[in-house]
Amino acid sequence: MPRLCLTVEYDGTSYGGWQVQPNAQTVQEQIESALAQVIGASVRVYSSGRTDAGVHAIDMKAHFDVETLLPLSAYREGVNRFLPQDIVVRQVCRVADDFHARFDAQGKWYRYRLYRGRIRSPLHRLTSWHVAGGLDVEAMTQAADALVGTHDFAAFQASGCAAATTQRTLFEVLLIDEGDELIIDVRGSGFLKNMVRIIVGSLVEVGRAKLTAGQLAEILASGQRCRAGLTAPAQGLCLMQVWYEKNIEIT
Amino acid sequence: MPRLCLTVEYDGTSYGGWQVQPNAQTVQEQIESALAQVIGASVRVYSSGRTDAGVHAIDMKAHFDVETLLPLSAYREGVNRFLPQDIVVRQVCRVADDFHARFDAQGKWYRYRLYRGRIRSPLHRLTSWHVAGGLDVEAMTQAADALVGTHDFAAFQASGCAAATTQRTLFEVLLIDEGDELIIDVRGSGFLKNMVRIIVGSLVEVGRAKLTAGQLAEILASGQRCRAGLTAPAQGLCLMQVWYEKNIEIT
């Protein structure tokens, strides 16, 4: 059966995350329901990963199979007609029959936005974490550097995370100073549950001088979740990109 | 009586605009109700202007009088405690007893955001106007230049606008190309009802080659509203700054 891959952008504010679950509207459910209306049959999509309630994405990938192949634009236009305004399918492409949005992913880029204004900002409230007061960005950068590389990130996962192994590779943790906003870009091979948000929470504690860069490196080595910083709130996080070994599109 | 001036930021998405009106929640109403709880008496605020339903602001000014003066921080902190998350008072300062937020304003800066991506964007939907397809930014810049200066802007006001005179001065109309976003910054002495949105709607028609820069100049000269472009939607607009002849704060 032909396999297709979607690129999905969404404002996660109103959803209980990506994955279908009881008692909450989810992005996956909206996509599957819109797709079903276009295809005329129920369909399951397999994403490159999950995002938590309130987390946003501009490049979530998800694959699914179809029995008969319509022109690709028919999927995109059809699905977007049924989707609410806070979700959109940006692209649909044909992929190899054995392509898997999650298992074939080579890396992901997440962006976290901190808002540093003295007063909370209504216009930033749904896409950033308000951290009032000065942050020592130099210390945060130094601490961030210590996280880059291949490590056991057990100290940076939500308790109850069921990942088989906690070893992951971070390619880059980049701090971008944009005045009232401080952007933290994290690129890595893969991420444990809440890993980016715990990294950000810990870096903020370094920025507030509650933790030193050296202590953060020790916490990483210790593997103990209870020692790392708090989990930064969901709304500051956005999945920016998922990439694969080569161009996944086949024609 | 001591007079105070507020600087207000708000996400206009959920409001029927600034000004109190029947059948819609408004920003003014929220501010007055929060202030009343802090002061213990009903109060009327006088703003630098109105914004339409869905328009945002990061620097709306509004003055009001108090019988007895509390420490200024008590107003800000108190009011913000009662305001919803989509409105905040960023600053409170003491002003001269005869200061008027509207009549003393020397100029205003509005920013309009166009989103030019091929597909609508969930993450930009509440703060921009989605204009798919290419825009001729050079032609738009040329047309914008023709609007700068002191003119009769009768052709660029909403029908039913009750302004005594339609002469206004535009200091600058600046287009900033930011990839998928095209920002239009408009600075002027004052604005007629819907003036910025009609200017943006007209510039987009120029960008789409439905109108030339020369024709836009002719429309300005004609004074006929029916000849100008459509009114750009509210959610792309944000009041960025209101300024006064000198520092309005007195101590």
Contacts of B10 in chain A (CB under 8 A): 122-123
Q: Which two tokens stand for residue B92?
A: 């409170």
- B56 touching A (Cβ < 8 Å): yes
Q: Which two tokens stand for residue B151?
A: 């003119």
Residue B106: the pLDDT is 96
Contacts (Cβ under 8 Å, ≥6 apart) of B238: A123, B55, B56, B57, B58, B110, B111, B112, B113, B127
* C-alpha dist (Å) from residue A154 to A203, A222, A240, B36, B190: 16, 8, 24, 51, 58
Show which of B60, B77, B103 is a domain's final residue: B103
Q: Which of B250, B1, B248 is nearest to B100 (CA)?
A: B248
Show which of B49, B71, B103 is a domain's final residue: B103
E strand intervals along B72-209: 87-95, 105-115, 129-130, 149-152, 167-178, 181-188
In-domain check, residue A73: yes
- B86 touching A (Cβ < 8 Å): yes
Contacts (Cβ under 8 Å, ≥6 apart) of A217: A143, A146
For residues A114 and A225, state if they share a domain.
yes
In-domain check, residue A245: no
Q: Which of B34, B50, B25, B68 is nearest to B194 (CA)?
A: B50
- B81 touching A (Cβ < 8 Å): no
In-domain check, residue B167: yes
E strand intervals along chain A: 3-10, 46-47, 56-65, 87-95, 105-115, 129-130, 149-152, 167-178, 181-188, 237-244
In-domain check, residue B209: yes
Q: What element of type H or E holds A143?
A: helix A137-147
For residues A135 and A96, state if they share a domain.
no
Q: Do B121 and A9 touch (CB under 8 A)?
A: yes
The lowest-confidence range among A32-41, B74-83, B162-171 is B162-171
Residue A161: the pLDDT is 65
Contacts of A116 in chain B (CB under 8 A): none
For residues A221 and A129, state if they share a domain.
yes
Q: What element of type H or E holds B197?
A: helix B195-207
For residues A209 and A195, state if they share a domain.
yes
In-domain check, residue B183: yes
Q: Do B11 and A123 touch (CB under 8 A)?
A: yes
Interface of A with B in 105-164 (CB under 8 A): 119-123, 125, 127
The chain B residue lying nearest A14, using CA atoms, is B122
Residue A225: the pLDDT is 73
pLDDT in tens, A87-120: 999 999 999 999 999 999 999 999 999 999 999 9
Could you give the CA distance from residue A239 to residue A56 in angstroms, rounded to a whole number? 6
> What does chain B come to in residues?
251
In-domain check, residue A125: yes
pLDDT over 90, % of chain B: 86
Residue B161 has pLDDT above 80, yes or no: no
**Interface pTM, i.e. ipTM:** 0.91
Q: What element of type H or E holds B83?
A: none
Backbone angles phi, psi at A176, to 5 degrees: -120, 120
Best of A93, A119, A124, A239 to substitute, by most chain B Cβ atoms within 10 angstroms, is A119
Q: Which two tokens stand for residue B224?
A: 């006929």
Best of B123, B128, B235, B240 to substitute, by most chain A Cβ atoms within 10 angstroms, is B123
Could you give the CA distance from residue B237 to residue A74 in angstroms, rounded to a whole number? 33
For residues B72 and B168, state if they share a domain.
no
For residues B124 and B199, state if they share a domain.
yes
> What does chain A come to in residues?
251
Residue among A52, A86, A97, A136 flagged as catalytic: A52
Residue B240 has pLDDT above 90, yes or no: yes
Return the active site residues of B: 52
- Give the one of B89, B119, B125 whose C-beta lies nearest to A90's C-beta: B119
Residue A97: the pLDDT is 95
* C-alpha dist (Å) from residue B199 to B112, B143, B162: 10, 10, 19
User: Is A173 strand, coil or helix?
Assistant: strand
- Please give the average per-residue pLDDT across B62-72, as a whole number: 94
pLDDT per residue, tens digit, chain A (251 aa), is 899 999 999 999 999 999 988 889 999 999 999 999 999 999 999 999 999 999 999 999 999 999 989 999 999 999 999 999 999 999 999 999 999 999 999 999 999 999 999 999 999 999 999 999 899 999 999 999 999 999 999 999 987 766 789 999 999 999 999 999 999 999 999 999 999 999 999 999 999 999 999 999 999 998 887 777 789 999 999 999 999 988 899 87
For residues B75 and B114, state if they share a domain.
no
Q: Do A85 and B10 touch (CB under 8 A)?
A: no
Give residue B91's pLDDT band: very low, low, confident or very high (50, 70, 90): very high
Give DSSP secondary structure letters for A81-121.
HHS-TTEEEEEEEEE-TT--TTTTEEEEEEEEEEE--SS--
Residue B251: the pLDDT is 79
Q: Is A110 annotated as a binding residue?
A: yes
Interface of A with B in 10-39 (CB under 8 A): 10-11
- Give the one of A9, A10, A122 whose C-beta lies nearest to B10's C-beta: A122
For residues A126 and A230, state if they share a domain.
yes
For residues B86 and B118, state if they share a domain.
no
- A81 touching B (Cβ < 8 Å): no
The chain B residue lying nearest A9, using CA atoms, is B122
Q: Which two tokens stand for residue A233?
A: 């709130």
Residue B82 has pLDDT above 90, yes or no: yes
Contacts (Cβ under 8 Å, ≥6 apart) of A50: A17, A18, A19
In-domain check, residue A194: yes
Show which of A57, A83, A103 is a domain's final residue: A103
Contacts of B85 in chain A (CB under 8 A): 120, 122, 125
Chains A, B: CB contacts within 8 A come to 55
CATH of residue A117's domain is 3.30.70.660
State the average pLDDT for chain B: 94
User: Is B185 strand, coil or helix?
Assistant: strand
For residue A222, give the amino acid letter. S
For residues B78 and B182, state if they share a domain.
no
For residues B196 and B211, state if they share a domain.
yes
- The CA-based diameter of chain A, rounded to the nearest angstrom, is 59
The answer to whether A111 and A174 have CB atoms below 8 angstroms apart is no
* C-alpha dist (Å) from residue A223 to A151, A216, A219, B53, B188: 10, 11, 6, 51, 58
User: Is A43 strand, coil or helix?
Assistant: coil
For residues A35 and A119, state if they share a domain.
no
In-domain check, residue B246: no
- Give the one of A58, A85, A119 whose C-beta lies nearest to B125's C-beta: A85
The chain A residue lying nearest B14, using CA atoms, is A122
Contacts of A88 in chain B (CB under 8 A): 119-122
Interface of A with B in 221-250 (CB under 8 A): 238
Q: Which one is predicted more confidently, B220 or B114?
A: B114
Domain that holds residue A81: 3-103
CATH of residue B64's domain is 3.30.70.580
Q: How many domains does chain A have?
A: 2
Residue B224: the pLDDT is 81
Residue B25 has pLDDT above 90, yes or no: yes
User: Is A181 strand, coil or helix?
Assistant: strand
Residue B27 has pLDDT above 80, yes or no: yes
Q: Do B88 and A56 touch (CB under 8 A)?
A: no
Residue B163 has pLDDT above 80, yes or no: no
